[in-house]
Amino acid sequence: MNSVDGARHDASSLYKFIDSVILPCAVKSHFSYTSPSRKFFEFISQLGIATKDHVARLSRELDAGLLATNPNDFSLRAQELATLRYSWFDLHKYIKPAADAHTLESPVPLVAAMTARLRGLSGFENVRFAIVHTNIVNYFQLSPNYVRQLAVQISKIVDGPPIFPDDLAIVGLPYSQSNAVFLNTLLAHEMGHFSFQKRSEQQRLSAPFNTIFNRHQVASFSNQDYVRCHQLVVGWLEEIYCDLFAIRLAGPAFSYAFIEFFALTRSNPPVEFSASHPPLGLRLREQARLLQSSSEPWWPSMQKLPNHYTELLSQTVTMQDSEFSWKNAINGRVEQEALACFFEMLDEPGKAVQEIFGEFDPEVRAFSEQFGTVMDYLSFGVVPSRLIIGYTAVTPSGTVLLNAAYSFYLNKLDTLLDRLSTTDCDCIQCRANWAERVEMWTAKALEDVTANGYTLKISY
């Protein structure tokens, strides 16, 4: 039932709700934040103020005169209050988590190192990442791109808001992993989602999809079947794209983190597609293929450091397309066609990622020359910010450091423990403690070597 009083109540309730949502952005805290996070807070604050002004204006327009002369229009206008409420409802999820992700609770050196690498690529020169926390443990369930899109859409319907900065992206991580280095390599996948959106890869994939779909001459597909099929295929390809993007950005450390996070060494990797993601086994296979078969592959260097993760990667490469299937099909016909199109398009993400990073990966050669020294330093508890190789001082890149340190953690932690007279190699608690130290040394080295270290840390 429409009424002026009801609309006024709804408007004031929304006004109050927005006030409480933006509060963490407005309150001066004693924590420090990176520049992108501050920029994000500033934008949200301004968007909140613009929305509140808009709501106040709208409430004045929803008066008795409008209700009497055009009740239908009154109702349509009042509906906007619900749209705005739900939009702020969704934004709410990201704001306090962003406030929690201050520099003491964020993997700032890792994000700075990955940002520095990304900024060296054409089209990403000004990219910045604000970090948000979440209580969801699975990195792959977050959708930080969504907050950008939502903020942009809200700003289109309220008057006078700021423009969301083009190169400001959001990455989210579980709050429990705030200072981890190795697992947070998974953030490179989130950066891939930003790239996918920024480069309009979805539109670029539509043309080959249509060609393949036409060739299959699918009979009796409705428009809804067709768009669902397209949505499934492009969604799956986006995930593969982000994995490959992450490998080119961070190296095999991404695959190590992927295996560790999903405990994939426990049994055969999952082989069933869901509506939103390809199976973990297939994703790992595509990662392994890239690591083995690019023009300058990581694989030979990884083979020098064999472990149960590299063994798993070797095994997944041999998995056949026919081993992967769809589970819980709503409409088997659509999913079946989507799988067929997907497998025919599986080279597309690799091509798109290569367009960004180029054919050769300069980090591979640097890694093969420097990883031994980085691991030696770590085995003595030395932060490997500057290496002496031969008689030359070398500053390793962030990618070399990250991958060498992860390999050390996987292969050579015992060397460090053996040097400590009081530590038992079989003591799991001791291993966990010293693994954490290795991560801290790696974080310190990443901070030291990242271009303009301190400046970048606060302004990237």
Positions in the binding site for other proteins (CB under 8 A) = 72-73, 76, 79-80, 82-83, 86-87, 90, 141-143, 146, 149-150, 153-154, 156-157, 202-203, 206, 210, 213-214, 221-224, 226-228, 230-231, 274-276
* Closer residue to other proteins, CB minimum distance, 143 or 354: 143
* Closer residue to other proteins, CB minimum distance, 87 or 370: 87
Collapsing DSSP to helix, strand or coil, 441 comes out as: helix
Please give the single-letter amino acid code of residue 282.
L
CA–CA distance, 234 with 238 (Å, rounded to integer): 6
* Closer residue to other proteins, CB minimum distance, 230 or 412: 230
CA–CA distance, 267 with 269 (Å, rounded to integer): 6
* Closer residue to other proteins, CB minimum distance, 11 or 449: 11
Tell me the closest approach of the beta carbon of residue 231 to other proteins, in angstroms.
Answer: 5
Tell me the closest approach of the beta carbon of residue 191 to other proteins, in angstroms.
Answer: 17
* Closer residue to other proteins, CB minimum distance, 68 or 76: 76
CA–CA distance, 353 with 351 (Å, rounded to integer): 5
Tell me the closest approach of the beta carbon of residue 226 to other proteins, in angstroms.
Answer: 4
Tell me the closest approach of the beta carbon of residue 15 to other proteins, in angstroms.
Answer: 18
Tell me the closest approach of the beta carbon of residue 272 to other proteins, in angstroms.
Answer: 14
CA–CA distance, 244 with 248 (Å, rounded to integer): 6
* Closer residue to other proteins, CB minimum distance, 211 or 459: 211
Tell me the closest approach of the beta carbon of residue 14 to other proteins, in angstroms.
Answer: 14
Beta strands (DSSP E) in 87-137 are: 128-134
Tell me the closest approach of the beta carbon of residue 44 to other proteins, in angstroms.
Answer: 16
* Closer residue to other proteins, CB minimum distance, 339 or 456: 339
* Closer residue to other proteins, CB minimum distance, 61 or 355: 61
The residue written with tokens 């309730």 in the block is 13
Tell me the closest approach of the beta carbon of residue 170 to other proteins, in angstroms.
Answer: 14
Residue 335: CA count within 13 A, CB half-sphere: 16
CB 419 within 8 A of CB 376: no
Residue 56: CA count within 13 A, CB half-sphere: 11
* Closer residue to other proteins, CB minimum distance, 86 or 380: 86
Please give the single-letter amino acid code of residue 219.
A
DSSP string, 226-294: HHHHHHHHHHHHHHHHHHHHHHHHHTTHHHHHHHHHTTGGGSSPP-EE-SS---HHHHHHHHHHHHHHS
Burial class (CB in 10 A: 0-12, 13-18, 19+), 311: exposed
Tell me the closest approach of the beta carbon of residue 18 to other proteins, in angstroms.
Answer: 15
Where are the alpha helices (H) located in 380-427, listed in sequence order? Answer: 398-407, 413-419
Please report, for the chain, how many H helices and E strands are present, in that order. Answer: 20, 6
* Closer residue to other proteins, CB minimum distance, 212 or 312: 212
Sign of CA dihedral 129, 131, 134, 139: positive
Tell me the closest approach of the beta carbon of residue 55 to other proteins, in angstroms.
Answer: 13
Structure-token pair, residue 358: 């180029």
Q: What percent of the chain is helix, strand and coil (3-state, nearest 5)? A: 70, 5, 25
* Closer residue to other proteins, CB minimum distance, 61 or 424: 61
What φ, ψ does residue 92 adopt, rounded to 5°?
-50, -35
Tell me the closest approach of the beta carbon of residue 378 to other proteins, in angstroms.
Answer: 37
